[in-house]
Amino acid sequence: MSKLVGIVLALAVGSSGSSLVGSPARAIEETPQVMLAAQIRMQGNDCGKPLSAVKDAKRSKPDHEVWVLKCSNATYRVSRVPDMAAKVERLR
């Protein structure tokens, strides 16, 4: 076994022999509020801690989701269309 393969295996397998790859305990939680907060931050908006995200069923359409994202410091209406930047409107 090459040295590189041995290092990779040592990183992928814990000392107990159980695999760490794909472990639910190690997975990053990707909830709608976390994903929406990341998206609006990349677009220059401030979202301290994402608290909740509720889909606005009345405003949403196929291929056009509208969410109300509540952050610790603000509330936003986020309109998402595939392959485009989100339209972000600060509510509070």
Q: What is the DSSP string of 23-40?
A: -GGGSPP--HHHHHHHHH
Model confidence pLDDT, tens digit, residues 42-84: 999 999 999 999 999 999 999 999 999 999 999 999 999 998 9
Which helix (H) or strand (E) element contains residue 65?
strand 65-71
Q: How many CB atoms are closer than 10 A to CB 50?
A: 20
Q: What pTM was computed for the model?
A: 0.67
Closest by Cα among 82, 76, 91 to 38? 76
Ranking 11-15, 46-50, 51-55, 88-92 by mean pLDDT, the lowest is 11-15
Q: Residue 28 has which token pair?
A: 């990053």
Phi-psi domain of 63 (left: phi exceeds 0; alpha: psi -120 through 50; beta: other): left
Q: Compute, in degrees rounded to 10, the torsion defined by CA atoms 27, 82, 78, 36.
A: 10
